[in-house]
Amino acid sequence: MQHHFITVEGNIGAGKTTLAHLISRKLNARLILEEFADNPFLPKFYENQKQYAFPLELFFMAERFKQMKDMLHTKDMFQSITVCDYLFTKCLLFAKVNLPEEEFRLYQKLFDIIHQQLIYPDILIYLHAPVQKLQQNIKKRNRVYEQGIHDDYLFSLQQTYTSYIKQHNIKTIFIDASNADFLGNEKHLQVVLDALENDLSDGQHYFTLP
């Protein structure tokens, strides 16, 4: 495996954590999972986005930074590969959608100061699913505070993610996850594993699932 730091990303409900778990198991890799449930502002944000967006995003950035710095700067003798279910830059992408312009400019200054201290992934796996599929997954996992998420919000996040990836020419395995079932269909997982084995150039590489 030529990639030592693999990140799985996608919209809310895309299946990031499930896929990250499966990849780490197959590759005997160290796993970093976002601890989103520890954010006390998350349920409040979905009730009142304007009031709680800024503290929500600040908390997420601080926690992601601490977790990633602690994990990535600690060597593991037995696991040379790390799989993470979030890209640190998602802090900036969500903030861009959630914050008004003045707050976003302040947030971006803080982000620019700290993100340079982190290691960025060798390759990104991006799960792209239509909003209808995302909503189905969100309802299925049944987190109470997520049940009122609007289609427009998911669509805005989708556009922000894809625009960022294309503009920055990140080496990306772009998976059409419209019918993804990584737990139930071994062939779906194998598409991702085979893609990771390929000698891919920078930029986006698109894969569909059988």
Place of tokens 């710095």: 69
Q: Which of 76, 85, 176, 202 is catalytic?
A: 85
Using the Cα atoms of residue 52, residue 57, residue 58 and residue 63 in order, give the sign of their dihedral: positive
Is it the case that residue 126 has pLDDT exceeding 80? yes
Lowest model confidence (mean pLDDT) among 39-48, 71-80, 131-140, 150-159: 71-80
- Its pTM stands at 0.93
For this structure, is 85 an active site residue?
Answer: yes
Q: Just give the CATH number of 5-208.
A: 3.40.50.300
Tell me what pLDDT residue 127 has. Answer: 98
Q: 């909503």: which residue's tokens?
A: 135
Spatial distance between the Cα atoms of 3 and 122, rounded to a whole number of angstroms: 6
* pLDDT > 90: percent of the chain: 77
Rg (CA), the chain: 17
According to the model, what pLDDT value does residue 77 have? 57
Per-residue pLDDT at 38? 79
The neighbour count for residue 174, using CB atoms within 10 Å, is: 20
pLDDT exceeds 70 at position 1 = no
Whether residue 189 is predicted with pLDDT greater than 80 in this model: the reply is: yes
Question: H or E segment at 127?
Answer: strand 123-128
Asked if 189 and 26 count as a contact pair (C-beta separation under 8 A), the reply is yes
Q: What angle do CA 20, 41, 138 make, to 5 degrees?
A: 45
Tokens at 54, concatenated:
């800024």
Which residues face 31 on adjacent strands? Answer: 83
